[in-house]
Amino acid sequence: MKFETAAIHIGQEPDKETGAVIPPVYLTSTFAQLEPGQTRGYDYTRSGNPAFDRLGATLAHLERAKYATVFGSGMAAVTAVISTLKSGDLVLAEENIYGCTYRIYDKVFKKFGVTISYVDLSDPANYAEIARQKPALVWIESPTNPLLKIIDIEAVAKAAHDAGTELLVDNTFASPYFQNPIALGADLSLSSTTKYINGHSDCLGGVVCTNSDDWHEKMIFAQKAVGLNPSPFDCWLISRGLKTLAVRMEQHAKNALKVAEYLENLACTTSVNYPFLPSHPQHELAKKQMRGGSGIVTAVFDLPFEKTVRLISNLALFSLAESLGGIESLICHPASMTHASIPKTAREAVGITDGLVRFSVGIEHADDLIADIQSSLSNL
């Protein structure tokens, strides 16, 4: 079954009892038992609900994984994975990871003896660090946030496996429509379903996909024992959003490429990052492991701080907001927003300067989006 068809049909069969084409959402915390201890498959929503299973079935298929466990947010999915580690374990991460992932390691799990080290894994020379440091887990994102570096998933998975460890890929930015980390050799593919997968900016969710029975058991355990479960209604919303992922991603990618080309030709930008622009330093690798460039574009403006702030505040169609991956365009200033929790020196060391602006290009008409940027620039 092709992606578009699976997104609509897998896990979303009409309701057996009534024939309702859209399966109902069971807004219940608990389920009546037939006899003490004998359930109809569900006992308490923290440890399972039909809406979790439906969404999980669709996501596992689309991520080309055997299993998908759903969580209350992307950070809940992150917590589920880290909660399987023990004191003394080391995680080796790509140096450019999501701000809140950096923060949860630094401010929460460090206290419990889980440590993290950062390496630039866009440079194959650094793969040797995996064998040298012997981490319990290797943690990467690709494309990275917000600089859109591309990490060679297949090569890092091989390096991790050769060193006897495992690889997690945060697949939030690419979405399963454009990239399948499990098929490229990763052990875990994690996503914030809040972003492209739901796509409508109206709820939060997360997912961890795997082929491993052992990891699947650990994720199910974390969902119920740590209390990281999503709400059934949010799963129903995410299932609804997911059905149109293919058409949305096509439009996001088409618009993003046009916006990136426009920004690249402006005199006031010093660099523009988009994996499917030929000028991207890893364009060939991007084309090898992704089927499209997704909807995020970052640009460095050669403007004083106040003018950069005015540029992004003046836009009418791009809302100034955190998050990404919704149908509506958003704009973000990482240094003062998503990455504000990372110290300035650490931030700048990985290229997040004050002039850096991240566009989450929506599915409006590209001409309107470009006209909006043009109009803001002419009113600085």
Span interacting with ligand PLP, options 37-45, 72-80, 254-262, 295-303, rule CB under 6 A: 72-80
Cross-sheet strand order for the sheet of 167-170: 67-71, 206-210, 188-192, 167-170, 137-141, 90-94, 115-119
Q: Give the nearest distance from C-beta 75 to ligand PLP in angstroms.
A: 4
Q: Tokens for 60, please give them.
A: 């596992």
Residue 256 burial (CB < 10 Å; 0-12/13-18/19+)? Answer: buried
Active site residue 195: yes
Using rule CB under 6 A, residue 235 touches ligand PLP = no
Residue 271: strand pairing partners: 300
CA distances from 324 to 197, 203, 332 (A): 11, 12, 9
Number of shown-chain residues binding ligand PLP (CB under 6 A): 16
Using rule CB under 6 A, residue 170 touches ligand PLP = yes
Name residues whose C-beta falls within 8 Å of residue 116's C-beta, 6 or more positions apart in sequence. 90, 91, 92, 93, 105, 106, 110, 139
Active site residue 46: yes
Q: Give the nearest distance from C-beta 193 to ligand PLP in angstroms.
A: 7
CB nearer ligand PLP, residue 172 or residue 251: 172
Among 48, 50, 74, 292, binds ligand PLP (CB under 6 A): 74
Using rule CB under 6 A, residue 75 touches ligand PLP = yes
Q: Determine the 3-state secondary structure of 367 from DSSP.
A: helix
Using rule CB under 6 A, residue 326 touches ligand PLP = no
State the Cα–Cα distance between residues 324 and 59, nearest whole angstrom.
Answer: 19
Cross-sheet strand order for the sheet of 269-273: 269-273, 296-301, 356-360, 330-332, 319-320
Q: Determine the 3-state secondary structure of 174 from DSSP.
A: coil
Q: Tokens for 45, please give them.
A: 């929503």
Using rule CB under 6 A, residue 172 touches ligand PLP = yes
Catalytic annotation, pick one of 42, 54, 67, 98: 98
Using rule CB under 6 A, residue 195 touches ligand PLP = yes
* Contact flags string 32-71 toward ligand PLP, x per CB under 6 A: ----------------------------------------
Span interacting with ligand PLP, options 119-127, 165-173, 243-251, 368-376, rule CB under 6 A: 165-173
Q: Give the nearest distance from C-beta 92 to ligand PLP in angstroms.
A: 17
Using rule CB under 6 A, residue 142 touches ligand PLP = no
Q: Determine the 3-state secondary structure of 292 from DSSP.
A: coil
Catalytic annotation, pick one of 26, 43, 44, 46: 46
State the Cα–Cα distance between residues 121 and 40, nearest whole angstrom.
Answer: 47
Span interacting with ligand PLP, options 58-66, 168-176, 247-255, 360-368, rule CB under 6 A: 168-176
Burial readout 312-327 (b: 16 or more C-beta within 10 A, e: otherwise): bebbebbbeeebbbbb
Catalytic annotation, pick one of 170, 187, 354, 372: 170
Using rule CB under 6 A, residue 204 touches ligand PLP = yes
CB-CB contact of 360 with 325 (8 Å): yes
Active site residue 98: yes
Active site residue 347: no
Which stretches of the chain bind ligand PLP, using CB under 6 A? 73-75, 98, 100-101, 141, 145, 170, 172-173, 192, 194-195, 204, 206
Q: Please list the active-site residues.
A: 46, 98, 170, 195
